[in-house]
Amino acid sequence: PDLFHHSICGLYTSTSLFPVLWYQTHQYPYGIVLDAGSSRTTVYVYEWPAEKENDTGVVSQTFKCDVKGPGISSYEHNTGALAKPLDECLNKVKERIPVHLHKSTSIYLGATAGMRLLRLQNETAANEVLASIQNYFRAQPFQFRGANIITGPEEGVYGWITANYLMELRFSGKSEGEKETIGALDLGGASTQISFIPEDSQENFNNTMQVKLYGYDYNVYTHSFQCYGRDEAEKRLLALLLQSGISSSVDNPCYPRNYETTLTVKYFCGSLCTQSLRPANYYPNQSVIFHGTGDPGLCQEMVSLLFNFTTCRNQEDCPFNGIHQPKVKGNFVAFSGFYYTINALNLTGHFSLADFNSSMWFFCSQSWAQLQFMLPKSEEIYARSYCFSANFIYYLLVHGYNFDAENWPQIHFQKEVGNSSIAWSLGYMLSLTNMIPAEGKLIQLPLKPSLFAGLLIFLAVLALKCQLVTYILFQLYWIF
């Protein structure tokens, strides 16, 4: 049987027959997702099959474009200005996708915590933003599949699906028996998500979502902490610092030594996340000078105030803010804001908690002049905040989610697999197109009845068997 598999695999890979047939019968080789985050919008173009040589039907990212300007929720009073920066990216997308496929290419927009907050604050304004986006996309050549605000748990689970889809197909594919999954840690601008399979996945947590992946049913624990995204958390810190000071000049231990910036109170107190922290005399346009003191110890103390531990009776299964969470288990991948922060500290992949702490301490002790030299490519608004982000990540992971020195190295800080970003957007598209690999089928092809259909299924089954062999080989490789 091994010989049979190998010769068939060889035939199939050398002739590339399958991808050719597949391409002809498959109507939609591209999909576009816009991740409308709180601080920016990112356009992703996905294509399948990705690697015709080695794999079949692996959806992979072929193009990514950061839309200039802020997130869509910032256009609340200026929806007319949404189109221009979107055009810049979409024009590039149009060049990437053959013109005759534009009409059949689906385009999805999912908005996250920035829009969730705006909707809570002013639903009319949020609807106006979505409506103007809908108008914009209706005039585009692609097949527009809607602009939606996705919920926090959805965002968490789609991130988990992406992580496991990308990792499973390329690294630790196990064909039979128990499937090991990887947990997902996502840090956005306005919210942060944790998603993983707990030790006892049958236990009924409020925050469990059922997901079917590779033929297995998973109960994914997921939670999204609103206002615990990087930007909103920092705004809350600035609001707290202003409360403790009284003058129009405030020391910030998380900003680098000798750094100074002037911000309006509205900049950090205008958000829903900081509404309760507004000073008694709230003058939105009043200016406050923040003066960096680069004091890592004091910074950590201030960051601890962003977490409410008093609402939990039992620290074990309720880390903070009264949210029930099972004990973290297995490997995790920490992407987006987690990755960018760790990267600024010159760390990557996985490392000990002690290494993280010493890098953070070193980084936070640098003066602004030194930091600018160390991070020549970083914009000021990012560079000044990495020390805060690092402390926030430390507090969230260690005191929030209860990672300790022992399981900290199981967190892999990573932003992509191959060229595909680890982001909820891929899982979102896979789910909406019903493309999550199910049992017996690696992908669900929207087949058209044709002369080739029978042959195609036959080849798909063969391809799957070959994949199985590859999976087992990979598994052995990883074990030894």
Ligand X SMILES: *[C@@H]1O[C@H](CO)[C@@H](O)[C@H](O)[C@H]1NC(C)=O
Residue positions in the annotated binding site for ATP? Answer: 189-193
User: 43 or 463: whose CB is closer to ligand X?
Assistant: 463
What distance in Å separates the CA atoms of residue 150 and residue 93, rounded to the nearest whole number?
24
Sign of the alpha-carbon torsion through 150, 153, 156, 161: negative
CA triple 252-256-257, angle to 5 deg = 85
Binding site for ligand X (CB under 6 A): 51, 53-54, 76, 122, 124-125, 128, 308, 310-311, 345-346, 363, 374
In b/e form, how buried is each residue of 157-177, taking b as 16+ CB within 10 angstroms?
A: bbbbbbbbbbbbbbebbeeee
User: 376 or 449: whose CB is closer to ligand X?
Assistant: 376
Least spacing, CB of residue 215 vs ligand X, in Å: 25
Query: Using CA atoms in the order 157, 103, 444, 65, what is the torsion angle rounded to 10 degrees?
Result: -40
Phi, psi of 130 (to 5 degrees): -65, -40
Q: How many CB atoms lie within 10 A of CB 47?
A: 16
Q: Supply the DSSP symbol for 146.
A: E
Positions annotated as catalytic residues are 155
Look at residue 19 and give its three-state secondary structure: helix
What distance in Å separates the CA atoms of residue 257 and residue 234, rounded to the nearest whole number?
17
Beta strands in 139-254 (DSSP E): 143-149, 183-187, 191-196, 208-213, 216-226, 249-252
Least spacing, CB of residue 277 vs ligand X, in Å: 10
Look at residue 191 and give its three-state secondary structure: strand
CA triple 51-52-54, angle to 5 deg = 70
Least spacing, CB of residue 168 vs ligand X, in Å: 16
What distance in Å separates the CA atoms of residue 166 and residue 416, rounded to the nearest whole number?
9
CA triple 24-25-27, angle to 5 deg = 95
Best CA proximity match to 151, nearest among 220, 222, 96, 86? 222
* Amino acid letter, 310: T
Best CA proximity match to 102, nearest among 54, 64, 45? 45
- Quick check: 414 and 339 in contact, CB under 8 A? yes
- Tokens 């003191």, located at residue: 293
Helix, strand and coil content of the chain, in percent to the nearest 5, comes to 45, 20, 35
User: 195 or 341: whose CB is closer to ligand X?
Assistant: 341
DSSP per-residue codes, 292-356: E---HHHHHHHHHTTS--TT-S-STT--STT---PPP-S-EEEEEHHHHHHHHTT--B---HHHH
What distance in Å separates the CA atoms of residue 85 and residue 312, rounded to the nearest whole number?
45
Least spacing, CB of residue 89 vs ligand X, in Å: 25
Look at residue 150 and give its three-state secondary structure: coil
